[in-house]
Amino acid sequence: MKPLRHALFGCLALVAVASAHADHPEWTRPRKPFRIYGNTYYVGTEGLSAILLKSADGLVLIDGTLPENAAQVEANIRTLGFQLKDVKLILNTHAHADHGGAIAAIARDSGARVVASAVGARELMLGGHYPDDPQFGEAPEYPPVPHVDVVADNGVVRLGDVVVTAHYTPGHTPGSTSWTWESCENDRCLHMVYADSLGAFTADGSGYRYSDPAHPERVADYRRSIAMVAALPCDILMSPHPGQSDFLERVARRDAGEKPNPLIDTGACRAYAAEGSRMLDAKLAKEQAGQGAAP
Ligand SMILES: [Zn+2]
Protein backbone atom coordinates (compact mmCIF):
# COMPACT_ATOMS: atom_id res chain seq x y z
CA MET A 1 0.00 0.00 0.00
CA LYS A 2 2.78 2.44 0.84
CA PRO A 3 4.22 2.84 -2.67
CA LEU A 4 0.76 3.52 -4.04
CA ARG A 5 0.13 6.20 -1.46
CA HIS A 6 3.43 7.85 -2.29
CA ALA A 7 2.63 7.79 -5.96
CA LEU A 8 -0.74 9.34 -5.34
CA PHE A 9 0.84 12.10 -3.30
CA GLY A 10 2.60 13.13 -6.49
CA CYS A 11 -0.56 14.35 -8.10
CA LEU A 12 0.58 15.25 -11.54
CA ALA A 13 4.28 14.98 -10.87
CA LEU A 14 4.65 11.47 -12.13
CA VAL A 15 2.74 11.87 -15.32
CA ALA A 16 3.44 13.51 -18.59
CA VAL A 17 0.60 15.53 -20.05
CA ALA A 18 -0.64 12.89 -22.45
CA SER A 19 -0.19 9.88 -20.21
CA ALA A 20 -2.18 11.04 -17.20
CA HIS A 21 -5.08 8.77 -17.94
CA ALA A 22 -2.99 5.81 -18.95
CA ASP A 23 -1.14 5.95 -15.65
CA HIS A 24 -4.18 6.76 -13.55
CA PRO A 25 -7.32 5.17 -14.99
CA GLU A 26 -8.97 5.58 -11.57
CA TRP A 27 -8.90 9.37 -12.01
CA THR A 28 -11.76 9.13 -14.51
CA ARG A 29 -13.35 5.88 -13.30
CA PRO A 30 -16.94 6.53 -12.15
CA ARG A 31 -17.77 6.19 -8.49
CA LYS A 32 -21.26 6.10 -7.05
CA PRO A 33 -21.78 9.26 -4.99
CA PHE A 34 -22.46 8.80 -1.29
CA ARG A 35 -22.93 10.56 1.99
CA ILE A 36 -19.74 10.93 4.01
CA TYR A 37 -21.27 12.34 7.19
CA GLY A 38 -24.15 14.69 7.96
CA ASN A 39 -24.40 17.32 5.22
CA THR A 40 -21.18 16.18 3.50
CA TYR A 41 -21.16 14.04 0.35
CA TYR A 42 -18.63 12.55 -2.06
CA VAL A 43 -19.26 13.32 -5.75
CA GLY A 44 -15.81 12.60 -7.18
CA THR A 45 -14.40 9.68 -9.14
CA GLU A 46 -12.65 6.56 -7.88
CA GLY A 47 -9.33 8.40 -7.78
CA LEU A 48 -10.10 12.11 -7.42
CA SER A 49 -12.18 13.70 -4.69
CA ALA A 50 -14.97 16.21 -5.13
CA ILE A 51 -16.78 17.10 -1.93
CA LEU A 52 -20.32 18.48 -1.73
CA LEU A 53 -21.83 20.29 1.27
CA LYS A 54 -25.54 20.84 1.60
CA SER A 55 -26.69 24.05 3.26
CA ALA A 56 -30.11 25.54 3.80
CA ASP A 57 -29.40 27.92 0.91
CA GLY A 58 -27.83 25.61 -1.63
CA LEU A 59 -24.72 23.55 -2.22
CA VAL A 60 -20.98 24.08 -1.86
CA LEU A 61 -18.69 22.03 -4.09
CA ILE A 62 -15.00 21.66 -3.26
CA ASP A 63 -12.90 20.64 -6.29
CA GLY A 64 -14.09 19.63 -9.72
CA THR A 65 -11.44 17.03 -10.68
CA LEU A 66 -10.25 16.73 -14.30
CA PRO A 67 -11.86 18.79 -17.10
CA GLU A 68 -13.26 15.65 -18.74
CA ASN A 69 -14.93 14.63 -15.47
CA ALA A 70 -17.20 17.69 -15.30
CA ALA A 71 -20.27 15.86 -16.60
CA GLN A 72 -19.60 12.97 -14.27
CA VAL A 73 -19.39 15.19 -11.19
CA GLU A 74 -22.54 17.01 -12.28
CA ALA A 75 -24.33 13.69 -12.76
CA ASN A 76 -23.21 12.57 -9.30
CA ILE A 77 -24.73 15.71 -7.80
CA ARG A 78 -28.04 14.95 -9.53
CA THR A 79 -27.90 11.29 -8.53
CA LEU A 80 -27.93 12.41 -4.91
CA GLY A 81 -31.22 14.20 -5.62
CA PHE A 82 -29.82 17.72 -5.87
CA GLN A 83 -30.08 20.17 -8.73
CA LEU A 84 -27.00 21.56 -10.39
CA LYS A 85 -28.34 25.10 -10.21
CA ASP A 86 -28.30 24.77 -6.42
CA VAL A 87 -24.49 24.70 -6.46
CA LYS A 88 -23.86 28.28 -5.34
CA LEU A 89 -20.20 28.10 -4.38
CA ILE A 90 -17.20 26.22 -5.73
CA LEU A 91 -13.95 26.04 -3.75
CA ASN A 92 -10.60 24.47 -4.66
CA THR A 93 -7.76 22.76 -2.82
CA HIS A 94 -5.13 23.42 -5.45
CA ALA A 95 -5.18 24.58 -9.02
CA HIS A 96 -3.74 21.55 -10.79
CA ALA A 97 -5.88 20.05 -13.56
CA ASP A 98 -6.82 16.97 -11.53
CA HIS A 99 -8.58 19.13 -8.91
CA GLY A 100 -9.34 22.46 -10.59
CA GLY A 101 -9.70 21.38 -14.22
CA ALA A 102 -13.48 20.97 -14.27
CA ILE A 103 -14.29 24.05 -12.22
CA ALA A 104 -14.78 26.38 -15.19
CA ALA A 105 -17.34 24.02 -16.73
CA ILE A 106 -19.21 23.30 -13.51
CA ALA A 107 -19.28 27.01 -12.60
CA ARG A 108 -20.67 27.82 -16.05
CA ASP A 109 -23.27 25.06 -15.92
CA SER A 110 -24.44 25.86 -12.38
CA GLY A 111 -23.89 29.61 -12.20
CA ALA A 112 -21.87 29.13 -8.99
CA ARG A 113 -19.39 31.66 -7.64
CA VAL A 114 -15.82 30.36 -7.41
CA VAL A 115 -13.72 31.19 -4.34
CA ALA A 116 -10.07 30.34 -3.66
CA SER A 117 -6.99 31.56 -1.82
CA ALA A 118 -5.30 34.69 -3.17
CA VAL A 119 -2.71 32.77 -5.17
CA GLY A 120 -5.12 29.94 -5.91
CA ALA A 121 -7.49 32.41 -7.55
CA ARG A 122 -4.73 33.64 -9.86
CA GLU A 123 -3.74 30.07 -10.70
CA LEU A 124 -7.33 29.10 -11.56
CA MET A 125 -7.83 32.19 -13.72
CA LEU A 126 -4.65 31.23 -15.61
CA GLY A 127 -5.85 27.66 -16.14
CA GLY A 128 -2.89 26.31 -14.24
CA HIS A 129 -0.31 28.23 -16.29
CA TYR A 130 1.49 29.56 -13.22
CA PRO A 131 5.28 29.91 -13.48
CA ASP A 132 5.87 29.71 -9.71
CA ASP A 133 4.22 26.29 -9.57
CA PRO A 134 6.82 23.64 -8.67
CA GLN A 135 5.38 21.51 -11.48
CA PHE A 136 5.22 24.34 -14.04
CA GLY A 137 5.83 23.03 -17.53
CA GLU A 138 4.72 19.53 -16.63
CA ALA A 139 1.33 19.96 -15.00
CA PRO A 140 -1.30 20.10 -17.76
CA GLU A 141 -3.18 23.32 -18.35
CA TYR A 142 -6.97 23.40 -18.40
CA PRO A 143 -9.87 25.78 -19.12
CA PRO A 144 -9.29 28.93 -17.05
CA VAL A 145 -11.97 30.03 -14.60
CA PRO A 146 -13.10 33.49 -15.77
CA HIS A 147 -13.56 34.98 -12.31
CA VAL A 148 -12.49 33.78 -8.88
CA ASP A 149 -13.14 35.59 -5.61
CA VAL A 150 -10.52 35.51 -2.87
CA VAL A 151 -10.91 34.29 0.70
CA ALA A 152 -8.21 35.30 3.17
CA ASP A 153 -6.15 32.85 5.19
CA ASN A 154 -8.33 31.70 8.09
CA GLY A 155 -11.22 33.51 6.42
CA VAL A 156 -14.62 31.91 6.12
CA VAL A 157 -16.97 31.28 3.24
CA ARG A 158 -20.64 31.07 4.20
CA LEU A 159 -23.66 29.64 2.49
CA GLY A 160 -26.81 29.43 4.57
CA ASP A 161 -25.94 27.53 7.73
CA VAL A 162 -22.67 26.18 6.36
CA VAL A 163 -19.43 27.92 7.34
CA VAL A 164 -16.24 26.73 5.63
CA THR A 165 -12.87 28.01 6.83
CA ALA A 166 -9.93 28.44 4.44
CA HIS A 167 -6.49 27.46 5.71
CA TYR A 168 -3.68 28.45 3.37
CA THR A 169 -1.33 25.48 3.12
CA PRO A 170 1.27 26.46 0.48
CA GLY A 171 3.81 23.81 -0.43
CA HIS A 172 2.50 21.40 -3.02
CA THR A 173 1.47 24.54 -4.93
CA PRO A 174 1.80 28.20 -3.85
CA GLY A 175 -1.99 28.55 -3.69
CA SER A 176 -2.74 25.29 -1.86
CA THR A 177 -5.64 25.55 0.56
CA SER A 178 -7.17 23.19 3.10
CA TRP A 179 -10.81 23.59 4.12
CA THR A 180 -12.60 22.78 7.36
CA TRP A 181 -16.21 22.82 8.50
CA GLU A 182 -18.51 21.09 10.92
CA SER A 183 -21.01 18.39 10.02
CA CYS A 184 -23.63 16.97 12.34
CA GLU A 185 -25.63 13.76 12.44
CA ASN A 186 -28.35 13.69 15.05
CA ASP A 187 -26.61 15.44 17.94
CA ARG A 188 -23.08 14.48 17.03
CA CYS A 189 -21.10 17.24 15.30
CA LEU A 190 -17.67 16.44 13.85
CA HIS A 191 -14.68 18.44 12.62
CA MET A 192 -14.42 17.81 8.90
CA VAL A 193 -11.05 18.44 7.25
CA TYR A 194 -10.43 18.46 3.52
CA ALA A 195 -6.64 18.77 3.63
CA ASP A 196 -4.77 19.65 0.48
CA SER A 197 -1.95 17.53 -0.92
CA LEU A 198 1.28 17.82 1.09
CA GLY A 199 3.57 16.06 -1.40
CA ALA A 200 6.71 17.86 -2.67
CA PHE A 201 7.15 17.41 -6.39
CA THR A 202 8.91 19.46 -9.04
CA ALA A 203 8.83 19.29 -12.81
CA ASP A 204 11.91 17.75 -14.37
CA GLY A 205 14.13 20.41 -15.87
CA SER A 206 12.11 23.29 -14.46
CA GLY A 207 14.93 24.44 -12.21
CA TYR A 208 12.48 24.84 -9.35
CA ARG A 209 14.04 23.86 -6.05
CA TYR A 210 12.27 23.95 -2.74
CA SER A 211 15.67 24.60 -1.15
CA ASP A 212 16.49 27.52 -3.46
CA PRO A 213 18.45 29.94 -1.20
CA ALA A 214 16.78 32.85 -3.01
CA HIS A 215 13.40 31.57 -1.77
CA PRO A 216 13.72 30.65 1.91
CA GLU A 217 9.95 31.07 2.21
CA ARG A 218 9.33 27.93 0.19
CA VAL A 219 10.47 25.53 2.89
CA ALA A 220 9.37 27.79 5.75
CA ASP A 221 5.83 28.08 4.36
CA TYR A 222 5.72 24.37 3.62
CA ARG A 223 6.73 23.40 7.15
CA ARG A 224 4.17 25.84 8.55
CA SER A 225 1.49 24.23 6.38
CA ILE A 226 2.41 20.75 7.60
CA ALA A 227 2.34 21.86 11.23
CA MET A 228 -0.99 23.59 10.69
CA VAL A 229 -2.63 20.47 9.25
CA ALA A 230 -1.21 18.36 12.08
CA ALA A 231 -2.75 20.71 14.64
CA LEU A 232 -6.24 20.97 13.13
CA PRO A 233 -9.18 19.67 15.14
CA CYS A 234 -9.79 16.62 12.98
CA ASP A 235 -12.45 13.93 13.14
CA ILE A 236 -12.91 13.01 9.47
CA LEU A 237 -10.07 13.62 7.02
CA MET A 238 -10.62 13.85 3.28
CA SER A 239 -7.88 14.45 0.71
CA PRO A 240 -7.86 15.45 -2.99
CA HIS A 241 -6.53 12.00 -3.90
CA PRO A 242 -8.62 9.75 -1.67
CA GLY A 243 -5.77 7.22 -1.49
CA GLN A 244 -3.60 9.75 0.33
CA SER A 245 -5.71 9.35 3.45
CA ASP A 246 -7.08 5.83 2.83
CA PHE A 247 -10.39 7.64 2.64
CA LEU A 248 -12.31 5.27 0.37
CA GLU A 249 -10.94 2.24 2.19
CA ARG A 250 -12.30 3.67 5.42
CA VAL A 251 -15.65 4.29 3.72
CA ALA A 252 -15.75 0.67 2.55
CA ARG A 253 -15.06 -0.55 6.08
CA ARG A 254 -17.73 1.73 7.48
CA ASP A 255 -20.23 0.53 4.90
CA ALA A 256 -19.37 -3.04 5.86
CA GLY A 257 -20.58 -2.18 9.35
CA GLU A 258 -17.26 -1.79 11.18
CA LYS A 259 -17.65 -0.22 14.60
CA PRO A 260 -16.54 2.23 15.73
CA ASN A 261 -16.85 4.14 12.47
CA PRO A 262 -13.37 3.88 10.86
CA LEU A 263 -13.91 7.19 9.06
CA ILE A 264 -13.69 8.97 12.41
CA ASP A 265 -10.03 9.16 13.39
CA THR A 266 -8.75 12.09 15.42
CA GLY A 267 -5.16 11.10 14.56
CA ALA A 268 -5.70 11.12 10.79
CA CYS A 269 -4.54 14.71 10.21
CA ARG A 270 -1.39 14.17 12.27
CA ALA A 271 -0.55 11.04 10.28
CA TYR A 272 -1.24 12.82 7.00
CA ALA A 273 0.99 15.72 8.04
CA ALA A 274 3.76 13.35 9.15
CA GLU A 275 3.71 11.74 5.72
CA GLY A 276 3.93 15.18 4.09
CA SER A 277 6.87 16.04 6.32
CA ARG A 278 8.64 12.82 5.41
CA MET A 279 8.12 13.53 1.71
CA LEU A 280 9.41 17.09 2.00
CA ASP A 281 12.52 15.89 3.84
CA ALA A 282 13.12 13.29 1.14
CA LYS A 283 12.74 15.93 -1.56
CA LEU A 284 15.15 18.31 0.18
CA ALA A 285 17.70 15.50 0.62
CA LYS A 286 17.40 14.74 -3.08
CA GLU A 287 17.92 18.39 -3.96
CA GLN A 288 21.01 18.52 -1.74
CA ALA A 289 22.39 15.39 -3.37
CA GLY A 290 21.69 16.82 -6.82
CA GLN A 291 23.42 20.04 -5.94
CA GLY A 292 26.49 18.14 -4.75
CA ALA A 293 26.67 16.25 -8.01
CA ALA A 294 26.29 19.33 -10.19
CA PRO A 295 29.39 20.60 -12.02
ZN1 LIG B 1 -1.27 18.57 -7.56
Q: Quick check: is 37 in a domain?
A: yes
Could you tell me the residue range of the domain that residue 275 belongs to?
Answer: 2-8+26-293
| DSSP E strand stretches across the chain | 34-37, 40-42, 51-55, 58-62, 87-91, 113-116, 149-150, 156-159, 162-168, 177-185, 188-194, 236-238
Per the annotation, the verdict on 208 as an active-site residue is: yes
Tell me, yes or no, whether 235 lies in a domain: yes
- Residue 13 belongs to a domain: no
Q: Which candidate in 37, 63, 98, 246 is catalytic?
A: 98
Residue 287 predicted with pLDDT over 80: yes
User: Is 172 annotated in the active site?
Assistant: yes
Average pLDDT of every residue of the chain:
92
Tell which wins on pLDDT, 173 or 207.
173
Q: Is 147 a catalytic residue?
A: no
Contacts of residues 73-81 at CB distance under 8 Å and 24 or more positions apart, as own/partner, are 73/43, 73/44, 73/102, 73/106, 74/106, 74/109, 74/110, 76/31, 76/32, 76/33, 76/43, 76/44, 76/50, 77/33, 77/43, 77/52, 79/32, 79/33, 80/33, 80/35, 80/41, 80/43, 80/52
Catalytic residue among 94, 194, 222, 265: 94
Q: Which residues surround ligand 1, an ion (CB under 5 A)?
A: 11, 96
Q: How remote is the CA of residue 160 from the centroid of ligand 1, in Å?
A: 30
Q: Is the pLDDT of residue 204 over 90?
A: no
14 domain-assigned: no
Ligand 1 centroid to residue 273 C-alpha, Å: 16
Q: Give per-residue pLDDT as tens, 81-134.
A: 999 999 999 999 999 999 999 999 999 999 999 999 999 999 999 999 999 999
Specify if 15 maps to a domain: no
Q: Which of 222, 241, 246, 265 is catalytic?
A: 241
- The CATH number for 39's domain is 3.60.15.10
Give me the pLDDT at residue 23, please: 87
CA 97 / ligand 1 centre spacing (Å): 8
pLDDT at 185 (0 to 100)? 96
In a domain, 196, yes or no: yes
